[in-house]
């Protein structure tokens, strides 16, 4: 597209990106997975999705679509309005279909026939991901590949390799003492799926499967011009809806009843466009190289950030912050986000909850000011949205601090143990203690001095993230616009929804296409300057 606005040009660039050979060269490390398309360009059902905070909502039919067989998952662009005043930034999309489970079997991903559909999908992406009917999945199991239950029983586990298409199934039959183990391997052309729920309940009234049920099998086909597509509420996307609800309640007035939402008031971006099942040492992913390709060399996130100019940026987790700071460190003046190493050098990213408290109590900004262009966004670091336990109110003490607490307050520590308030934690040296807040019912059983210590180390992440929105509202940098029923849009024009290549039926309710657009190449030059500064 010649001289397309930056926000429009990013659609084809990101969707068509195949730079990372680890994802796209030779045999893909993950997949293939079920993919779908729509039966029309701009389905009304997609733009009318209503967000929910219900984590247990069952799959809900959303529209009829086309099952397109198996394919790879296209890289993703930012979700939501390009001028939403709040932007969350995570690592990369989660490859939910990777997991060997009955849920993993039904997930499906968009494989659209044109850029317009792809753009529309991401513009209105809310808190949902898509799946197909489990019956349709079962109908496409390749004959002869089925693992059929000999008797009634349970699937105890399905342990998938993190670097190979291999899974070990452990099956417990009702009248057998020891479980059976079955190994399965597959190619990306015929993916193996698990079709029953994992269960460890040895209760004849709650069987995991019955004799004759198909426990799993390999898939082929999955094509149809008319299939039901379902929407599934996803915890990662839902988490910030709860923050918005807290903000509305505390702000009061017109904001209290406003329809603030993901996709309209909150845009969601990832540092990396391509999906994977995780982003840890468990997965054999060349993370540094992929981050360099996507974040620095292509600068997809930086380009969208420069165009969007959000008032608030929520960075989701320490890994996201580390990647973000690799490029944006020169523009994070005054933000002390790294540990100090023994040689006085700067080291690893600080603990996430420490950074949450730091960015709530003290204003920290991303500030870019280049050749008349200015972006100044309030920064806050959030715990990872994928894990609900991250957002439970709790006190958190280091192991050393907990040892000192037990020595100083022997009876209080025993009370916490007896009341089952000390929660397990196997991934860092923090001891979480379930305390709802200052009025928690256990307060009457804890001594005053011990209680003050617990409150000094207390976190309520939802409340803290809402605090930032209240602070930004009080400072006048985040405002409610009654005329549009949403938070005021970020500065600058936008042609994402209305341009020479496509026009969404709803147009732009915010009048952004009518504003004066930057000169051709102007924003792109800012992006290049940001990257060049980060390289020095």
Report the chain's mean pLDDT, rounded to a whole number: 94
> What pLDDT score was predicted for residue 361?
96
pLDDT band, very low/low/confident/very high, at 344 (cuts 50, 70, 90): low
Token pair of 433 as six digits: 């203690």
Using CA atoms, how far apart are residues 244 and 510, in angstroms rounded to an integer? 20
Residues 6+ apart with CB under 8 A from 3: 520
Cβ-based burial of 283 (10 A; exposed 0-12, middle 13-18, buried ≥19): middle
Token pair of 5 as six digits: 């606005």
175-190 mean pLDDT: 94
Convert the pLDDT of each residue in 472-529 to its tens digit: 999 999 999 999 999 999 999 999 999 999 999 999 999 999 999 999 999 999 999 9
- Domain positions in the chain are 6-32+78-98+233-385+475-535, 141-220, 394-459
383-399 mean pLDDT: 92
217-227 mean pLDDT: 96
CA nearest neighbour of 63 among 83, 90, 40, 30: 40
Using CA atoms, how far apart are residues 383 and 386, in angstroms rounded to an integer? 9
What is the β-pairing status of strands 109-110 and 128-132?
unpaired
CA nearest neighbour of 248 among 509, 490, 436, 473: 473
pLDDT band, very low/low/confident/very high, at 296 (cuts 50, 70, 90): very high
pLDDT band, very low/low/confident/very high, at 1 (cuts 50, 70, 90): very low
What's the 3-state SS for 213-277? CEEEEEECCCEEEEEEEEEEECHHHHHHHHHHHHHHHHHCHHHHCCCCCECCCEEEEECCCCCEC
Residues 6+ apart with CB under 8 A from 239: 385, 388, 391
> What pLDDT score was predicted for residue 18?
97
> What pLDDT score was predicted for residue 2?
57
| pLDDT surpasses 70 at 186 | yes
pLDDT band, very low/low/confident/very high, at 184 (cuts 50, 70, 90): very high
pLDDT band, very low/low/confident/very high, at 374 (cuts 50, 70, 90): very high
Token pair of 211 as six digits: 């004799």
| pLDDT surpasses 60 at 264 | yes
318-343 mean pLDDT: 90
Convert the pLDDT of each residue in 225-256 to its tens digit: 999 999 999 999 999 999 999 999 999 999 99
| pLDDT surpasses 90 at 72 | yes
| pLDDT surpasses 90 at 429 | no
pLDDT band, very low/low/confident/very high, at 31 (cuts 50, 70, 90): confident
| pLDDT surpasses 60 at 392 | yes
Cα radius of gyration rounded to whole Å, the chain:
25
Using CA atoms, how far apart are residues 347 and 79, in angstroms rounded to an integer? 32
Using CA atoms, how far apart are residues 266 and 69, in angstroms rounded to an integer? 33
pLDDT band, very low/low/confident/very high, at 269 (cuts 50, 70, 90): very high
Using CA atoms, how far apart are residues 274 and 259, in angstroms rounded to an integer? 31
Convert the pLDDT of each residue in 121-178 to its tens digit: 999 999 999 999 999 999 999 999 999 999 999 999 999 998 899 999 999 999 899 9
pLDDT band, very low/low/confident/very high, at 203 (cuts 50, 70, 90): low
């Amino acid at each position: 597209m010649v001289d397309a606005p930056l926000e429009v040009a990013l659609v084809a660039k990101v969707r068509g990106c195949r730079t990372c050979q680890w994802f796209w060269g030779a045999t893909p490390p993950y997949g293939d997975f079920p993919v779908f398309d729509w039966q029309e360009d701009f389905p009304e059902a997609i733009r009318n999705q209503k967000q929910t905070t219900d984590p247990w909502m069952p799959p809900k039919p959303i529209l009829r679509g086309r099952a397109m067989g198996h394919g790879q998952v296209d890289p993703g662009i930012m979700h939501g309005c390009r001028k939403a005043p709040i932007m969350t930034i995570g690592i990369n999309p989660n490859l939910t279909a990777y997991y060997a489970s009955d849920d993993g079997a039904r997930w499906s991903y968009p494989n659209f026939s044109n850029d317009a559909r792809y753009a529309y999908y991401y513009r209105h992406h809310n808190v949902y991901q898509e799946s197909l009917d489990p019956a349709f999945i079962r109908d496409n199991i390749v004959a002869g590949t089925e693992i059929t239950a000999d008797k009634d029983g349970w699937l105890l586990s399905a342990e998938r390799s993190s670097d190979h298409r291999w899974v070990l199934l452990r099956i417990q039959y009702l009248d057998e003492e020891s479980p059976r183990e079955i190994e399965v391997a597959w190619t990306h052309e015929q993916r193996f799926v698990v079709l029953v729920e994992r269960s460890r309940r040895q209760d004849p009234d709650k069987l995991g499967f019955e004799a004759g049920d198909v426990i799993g099998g390999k898939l082929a086909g999955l094509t149809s011009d008319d299939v039901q597509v379902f929407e599934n509420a996803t915890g990662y996307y839902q988490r910030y809806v709860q923050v918005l609800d807290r903000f509305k309640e505390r702000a009061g007035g017109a904001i209290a009843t406003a329809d603030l939402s993901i996709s309209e008031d909150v845009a969601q971006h990832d540092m990396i466009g391509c999906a994977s099942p995780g982003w840890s040492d468990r997965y054999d992913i060349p993370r540094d190289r992929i981050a360099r390709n996507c974040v620095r060399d292509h600068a997809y996130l930086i380009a969208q950030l420069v165009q969007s100019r959000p008032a608030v940026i929520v960075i989701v987790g320490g890994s996201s912050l580390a990647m973000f700071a690799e490029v944006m460190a020169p523009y994070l003046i005054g933000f002390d986000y790294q540990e100090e190493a023994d040689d006085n050098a700067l080291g690893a990213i600080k603990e996430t909850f420490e950074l949450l408290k730091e960015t709530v109590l003290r204003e920290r900004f991303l500030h870019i000011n280049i050749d008349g262009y200015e972006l100044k966004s309030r920064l806050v670091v959030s715990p990872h949205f994928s894990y609900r336990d991250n957002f439970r109110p709790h006190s958190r003490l280091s192991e050393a601090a907990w040892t000192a607490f037990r020595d100083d307050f022997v009876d209080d520590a025993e009370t916490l143990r007896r009341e089952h308030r000390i929660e397990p934690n196997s991934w860092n040296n923090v001891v979480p203690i379930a305390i709802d807040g200052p009025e928690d019912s256990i307060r009457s059983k804890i001594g005053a001095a011990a209680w003050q210590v617990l409150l000094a180390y207390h976190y309520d992440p939802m409340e803290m993230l809402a605090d930032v929105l209240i602070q930004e509202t009080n400072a006048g940098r985040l405002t409610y616009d009654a005329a549009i029923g949403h938070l005021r849009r970020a500065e600058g024009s936008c042609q994402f929804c209305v341009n020479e290549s496509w026009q969404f039926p709803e147009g732009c309710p915010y009048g952004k296409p009518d504003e004066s657009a930057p000169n051709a190449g102007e924003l792109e030059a800012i992006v290049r300057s940001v990257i060049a500064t980060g390289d020095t």
